[in-house]
Structures are given as structure tokens and as C-alpha cells.
Amino acid sequence: MIAALDVDLLTIDTTARQWPTYQSSILRHLDIAEVPVHAPQVPDAVQRRYIGVYAGEGEFAHHDPFRVELIDGELKLRTSYSDDYTLMPVTEQSYTIRGTRLQIEFVTDAHGQVSGLRHTFWDGQVYACHKVESEQA
């Protein structure tokens, strides 16, 4: 029984969906130092190429299209079920979704134009998406 344990409990209200803040609170509560992430700096000019609307292909086609936006120097993934996904750069074309093992790799065509992306889920399944709309920041 948890009630019988002699531990300090931490209560977190997650309705605001501020996952990095919750992670920091948990680490502080457990007295664990946060390890800084040294992500490469990707210029806004490069990231602007990724802005737009993407739609799934194949078995991922039934999902609603989603949007990639550039806000305050960070790429954000906006879906029908959440608008709180921050993309953290691994390289200029590859990103992880902050706080997850999900990966996004932007795909370019022979002319260097962004034509879509590959979305890798936690289980290693890769879903292709094509860019259906570009937007200017």
C-alpha cells in the first residue's frame, strides 16, 4: 500500500500540458540533476522551409493533417489532439518531439524543396507524410 510508505508525495496537475515543467518538478522532487540537452542551432531560414501542413500516407492516411509552425525560433507540431509538441533538432533535417522518443525527419526532393516527412514512432514504425501546403512565416 502506498499510504503505508514513508515517502514524500508529489502531486502534479497536468491539465495545462506543460510537460517540460512537470519533468523539471519531478527531477527536483527526486533530487536528480537535470541534464542539459545541447541541440544544434538550426537557422530560422532553414526551419522556415518546414512550415506547412502535412498529411499521412498509406496506413497513416486516416489521421487528420497536422501543421508545423515556427514560433520563437522553435518548430511546433500542431495536431487535432494537441498543439504542445516542440520539435528539438538533432540535425538540420531530423528532430525529436520533446519529452518523447518520437522522431521527425523532413524529406527534400531533388530540387531541395521540402516534400514531406517521415514520422518514427516509439515502436520503430515509420509513417510517411507529404507536404500539402506551405506557409510563409
Output the pLDDT for position 123.
87
For the chain, the domains span 44-134
Cell representation of residue 50: 518546414
Q: What is the CA radius of gyration of the chain?
A: 18
Percent helix, strand and coil across the chain, each to the nearest 5: 15, 35, 50
Output the pLDDT for position 121.
87
Residue whose cell numbers read 522532487: 29
User: DSSP for 54-88?
Assistant: EEE-GGGTTSPPEEEEEETTEEEEE-SS-S-EEEE
Output the pLDDT for position 137.
46
User: pLDDT tens digits, the chain, 137 residues: what are they?
Assistant: 566 767 788 888 888 878 778 888 888 998 888 877 777 899 999 999 999 999 988 777 677 889 999 999 999 998 877 777 899 999 999 999 887 888 999 999 999 899 999 999 888 889 999 999 876 54
Extended beta strands in the chain, E state:
52-56, 66-71, 74-78, 85-89, 94-97, 103-108, 114-120, 126-134
Closest CA to 68 of 119, 123, 127: 119
Q: Buried (b) or exposed (e) across 47-57, using 16+ Cβ within 10 A?
A: bbbbbbebbbe
Output the pLDDT for position 63.
78
Cell representation of residue 137: 512565416
pTM equals 0.70
CA distances from 27 to 12, 44, 76, 95 (A): 13, 31, 25, 24
Which one of 3.40.50.620, 2.40.128.50, 3.40.190.10, 3.30.390.30 gives the CATH number of domain 44-134?
A: 2.40.128.50
